[in-house]
Structure 1
Amino acid sequence: MPPTMKVLIYRHSVVTRLTHWINVVALTLLLMSGLQIFNAHPALYWGQKSTFAEPWVALTAVERGDKMIGLTKVGPLTLETTGLFGFSGNETRGFPAWATAPGYRNLADGRHWHFFFAWVFVLNGLVYLSANSLNGHIRRDLLPTRNELAPRHLWHEILDHARLRFARGEEARRYNTLQKLAYGGVVLVVLPLMVLTGLTMSPAVNAGQPWLPVVFGGRQSARTIHFICAGLITTFVLVHVAMVLLSGVWNNLRSMVTGRYAIDVEGDAR
């Protein structure tokens, strides 16, 4: 087997690195302030109006004996979630204080935080898309090719990920197809849905754009879709962090701080 050596390649531009870390802060506080807003009425519905007797999801608390029990209802399923959902910190609340921003109960402050970081996130996203469209990063590195979308190739990558086999050598120079599809799905589908459903919940926007609630089947449906999208983004982030940890923490962090990423190449490949 030929000898190999570590070679540092330039993987992430300054714009990509800067917008990435701004996104980390913005998305974290968007989620936490969103949970603060959700706690004002911890239930989800479908349609235009809230049918209080028939929520699709509800985080509630009931008195059982001499203590309060937190309950999470999802459709016909009811789970006891005391200390996490429904009842925590000796008070009835959907999500616990440590998961919300601010930690104390205040809907107005939660909205202020949420709207501020929503603008930070949107403007940061526009900078990312503009800069990386101009330098060719999106076209060159994020759009999958026809060969990469072939079923056999996709199945091979799924099996490699399931077995925790990560790209090495020249293959590590670029994103794999699953990464491209995940990033594309979040950027092109989930995030636009988040923005549009968020706007749909605004009475002021509804007055100027009455077609928005119709598109999503009502303001309550938009709220539910908004919450589902938040869950999808949270799942994406957790999987992303897990992959970073499993494929090499220092190498991945260095690439997002300095832009340099180490790959293994054969000794004569310099």
Structure 2
Amino acid sequence: MVYRQSLWTRATHWIWAICLFFLLLSGLQIFNARPNLYIGKQSGFAFDNSVLSMTAVNTPGGRRGVTTILGHEFDTTGVFGVSGTAEKPQVRGFPAALTIPSYRDLATGRVIHFFFAWLLVVTLFVWFTASLVNGHLCRDLRPTRGDLARLPQDIADHARFRFHHTGRYNVLQKLSYGIVFFVLFPVIVLTGLTMSPGLDAAWPWLLDLFGGRQTARTIHFVVMTLLVLFFLVHITMVLAAGPINELRSMVTGWYRTDPESNDGPAQ
């Protein structure tokens, strides 16, 4: 047994999990107020710059949900555009089960979203400061040349669900966590700030950085999707590698490693 996760890492990990849950579902509530995404600084009926839209169309058989992605239309009745029951169909982008609140309430969705967004930012700052002070960043998350040399083998092992419990992060973990912490989180925070007219007035460079408020909204949505995919892969790897051992390390900090062989410790 090795002490793998510090109190700071464990506490911020679970706060992030809570924040991202509420941010996702409240964000979909906000998205439903305008279930369209655009590229450019302007949008509206006079522009043809939509890259995604969820809408409802009237057909002889009733209303159908249609999702358009880059000009390609898909019938998504029951999921996107039109959901609910056949007796009481609901015209909305994402279904009620995926939004907070479940009913249409943009104001409440915004309050929840902004609260957990700032909580996420504060937690990120605390984690970064603590990890810099206690050496977690350089010691555990910085890929070494040896790590990068083992990358092909590490990819092959993960593809075959062969895991080595050494008490250290493997190179795929280091790279994925690095991308999440230092690319996806900063981008989703900055694009969120770019959608605020007040902050745009104070920091107009945000609009130039992301190509306008509408483009920032699209990037925000794309990064959210990438974080959801990361979460799904993360949970899959936890279950495959041994959920009890993995959860123990994120609750108590203690992690059970592989026994040493005659050739030395497992790598």
| TMscore range, shorter length | over 0.9
Q: Does residue 1:30 correspond to 2:23, yes or no?
A: yes
SS of aligned partner of 1:56: strand
**Partner in structure 2 of residue 243 of structure 1:** 237
**Partner in structure 1 of residue 222 of structure 2:** 228
Normalising by structure 1, what TM-score?
0.92
Q: Does residue 1:87 correspond to 2:86, yes or no?
A: no
What amino acid sits opposite 1:31 in the alignment?
Answer: L
SS of aligned partner of 1:63: strand
Within 2, Cα distance between the matches of 1:30 and 1:194?
Answer: 11
**Partner in structure 2 of residue 4 of structure 1:** none
**Partner in structure 2 of residue 163 of structure 1:** 160
Give the CA deviation at 1:131: 1.0
Within 2, Cα distance between the matches of 1:196 and 1:129?
Answer: 17
Within 1, Cα distance between the matches of 2:234 and 2:61?
Answer: 43
Select the structure with the greater relative contact order (CA < 8 A; seq sep ≥ 6): 1
**Partner in structure 1 of residue 105 of structure 2:** 106
CA RMSD of aligned residues (A): 1.6
Q: Does residue 1:136 correspond to 2:124, yes or no?
A: no
Contact 1:33 1:113 in 2 (8 A): yes
2:38 to 41, 45, 62: 45
Tell me the number of residue pairs that the alignment of Structure 1 and Structure 2 aligns.
258
Contact 1:59 1:72 in 2 (8 A): yes
SS of aligned partner of 2:53: strand
Normalising by structure 2, what TM-score?
0.93
Q: Which runs of 4+ in 1 moved over 4 A?
A: 267-270
Give the CA deviation at 1:88: 0.8
What amino acid sits opposite 2:17 in the alignment?
Answer: V
Identity among equivalent pairs (%) = 52
Give the CA deviation at 1:232: 0.7
**Partner in structure 2 of residue 189 of structure 1:** 183
Contact 1:70 1:87 in 2 (8 A): yes
What amino acid sits opposite 1:219 in the alignment?
Answer: R
Residues 119-163 of structure 1 show CA distances to partners (whole Å, capped at 9, x for unaligned) of 11111111111111111111100010122223xx21111111111
What amino acid sits opposite 1:58 in the alignment?
Answer: S
Give the CA deviation at 1:267: 8.0
Q: Does residue 1:77 correspond to 2:76, yes or no?
A: no
Identify unmatched segments of 5+ residues in structure 2: none
Q: Does residue 1:96 correspond to 2:91, yes or no?
A: no
SS of aligned partner of 1:232: helix
SS of aligned partner of 2:219: helix
Identify unmatched segments of 5+ residues in structure 1: 1-7
